[in-house]
Structure 1
Amino acid sequence: MTLHLDLLRHGETELGGGLRGSLDDALTAKGWEQMCAAVAEQGPWDRLISSPLQRCALF
């Protein structure tokens, strides 16, 4: 059995900066574009695991 694991970090957030930790800031329009571009022509996936923070969960 082979395991293939894809990791994806969220895109640009409204407050910008570096590591956001548990701060629940939303993605900017650019952040949404970055996320969509990152998964274009990828998948399908059997399972998705996401942070409950809005910048990840809403995507």
Structure 2
Amino acid sequence: MKVGEYLKEQREQQGLSHAKLAKAAGVSKRSLIYWEQGRDMSVEVADKVLKVLGATYKIGA
């Protein structure tokens, strides 16, 4: 599963809107939507969003 798909899954499981998660992570709602659709994001930004979600994502083998 790609990181954007994982973020979307976690956000939906927690009942968070794009706006609430974006605000809590300090990113724009538009960027969050783009990332969930598969656009590239930096590791630093992914870390911020994952921390808000209380989730982890393993990169690599």
Question: What is the TM-score normalised by the length of structure 1?
Answer: 0.31
Q: Which has the higher contact order (CA 8 A, sep 6+)?
A: 2
Choose 1 or 2 for highest CA Rg.
1
In proportion to residue count, which structure has more helix? 2
Question: What is the TM-score normalised by the length of structure 2?
Answer: 0.30
